[in-house]
Amino acid sequence: MRKIVLVVIASLVIAVGAADSVAQTAGVSVSTVELRDVAAGWSAKKQILGKGVYNDAGDKVGEINDLIVTPAKAVSYAVVGVGGFLGMGEHQIAVPVGKLKQEQGKIVLHGATKEALKAAPKFEYAK
């Protein structure tokens, strides 16, 4: 009896260790280290999309409407709506994600002005 209990406990320890190192999801292996990195990252839905973009002076200069994943599978650009009022007259521009910083709970684009962003080339989706 004691031998069976030890075997069961040892099996559970091995199973828990294996489950902790790799999580199986639809045939894709993801390590727990990767899962921790993902959990510590930004959520597009909760922390990025629809959020305001601010300049150094704290002025709202736009709003993030979309994120672009390039064919190389990297999030490379944020599509920022600038200009307009209540969605009227707004146009979209592409901003390299590396230029956006999260500071004090806001997304900041250093050096941006409303005028400079309005003058930037318009972004249009491929057809």
58: region left, alpha or beta (phi > 0 left; psi from -120 to 50 alpha): left
pLDDT-derived band at 63, boundaries 50, 70, 90: very high
- Of residues 41 and 99, more confidence is placed in 99
Structural domain boundaries of the chain?
Answer: 2-40, 44-119
The answer to whether residue 64 scores a pLDDT higher than 60 is yes
Over range 89-107, report the average pLDDT. 92
Q: What is the pLDDT of residue 21?
A: 47
Q: Is 44-119 a CATH 2.30.30.240 domain?
A: yes
* Residue 2 pLDDT: 42
In contact, 82 and 120? CB cutoff 8 Å: yes
Categorize the per-residue pLDDT at 111 as very low, low, confident or very high, splitting at 50, 70 and 90: very high
CB atoms near residue 32 (< 10 Å): 12
pTM above 0.75, yes or no: no
- Residue 14: pLDDT band (50, 70, 90) is very low
If you average pLDDT over residues 52-80, what whole number do you get?
91
Confidence of residue 44 (pLDDT cuts 50, 70, 90): confident
